[in-house]
Amino acid sequence: MRTRFALLALAVLATSATAQVGKTSLVDPNLATEQQLAAVPHMNPTLVKAVMDKRPFLTVKELHAVLSPTLSADQLKETFAKMWVHLNLNTASKEEILLIPGVGNRMLHEFEEYRPYTNLAQFHREIAKYVKEDELARLESYVFVPMDLNSATDADLLTIPGLGARMLREFKEYRPYKDMAQFRREIGKYVNAKEVARLERYVMIK
């Protein structure tokens, strides 16, 4: 009986889960305060200012470009263990995936093997074949799968970093979206173009 209920729960999860952003305690350099950035390993005042001046970062590669002239490879690993720009599981380059601390060529292969991902539950299910639950949770905190603007639930939309109740309302007000140009136009009424670009990373239109 217990096995039957467990299988039923998995089936419900598989049918109801949608694309979303990995839960994370990592500092988001696009949203962090000066104090939060300063608390990240190896972030001296010069680097904190550089990050604040250059954001938003649309890829971790852009963040790496700001930090790498100053920090060594080992220092970058320690920094990226605490601060990160979420990777799109379907479009991230090999170089970007390998920036995740502890990810080598073997895990890079597993990340890429199951593309395209339709939701984070798929990533969880596939990568769970190779690592334990705590490591899986850590890896998930670095990634996301874009969610459909027209069908994503409130809970899923609210996993987008920095998206609060007000912006959730604006996202939903203009449904159904016909294309991303409409999204940029409508959301651009409330935030500047850089913030629209940051938010756009997390969404798509099927």
Percent of the chain with pLDDT over 70: 91
How many whole angstroms separate alpha carbon 152 and alpha carbon 150? 6
- Domain ranges, ordered by start, for the chain: 17-144, 147-204
State the average pLDDT for the chain: 92
Segment 44-87, tens digit of pLDDT = 999 999 999 999 999 999 999 999 999 999 999 999 999 999 99
Average pLDDT rounded to a whole number, residues 112-131: 96
pTM of the model: 0.88
Confidence at residue 19, expressed as pLDDT on a 0 to 100 scale: 64
CB 117 within 8 A of CB 123: yes
Confidence at residue 23, expressed as pLDDT on a 0 to 100 scale: 85
How many whole angstroms separate alpha carbon 65 and alpha carbon 50? 11
| pLDDT beyond 70 at 175 | yes
How many whole angstroms separate alpha carbon 86 and alpha carbon 57? 10
* Residue 59 exposed, middle or buried by CB count within 10 Å (0-12, 13-18, 19+): middle
SS3 content of the chain, % helix, strand, coil (to 5): 50, 5, 45
Confidence at residue 187, expressed as pLDDT on a 0 to 100 scale: 98
CB 58 within 8 A of CB 201: yes
How many whole angstroms separate alpha carbon 143 and alpha carbon 158? 15
Query: Which pLDDT band, with edges at 50, 70 and 90, does 24 fall under?
Result: confident
Average pLDDT rounded to a whole number, residues 181-189: 98
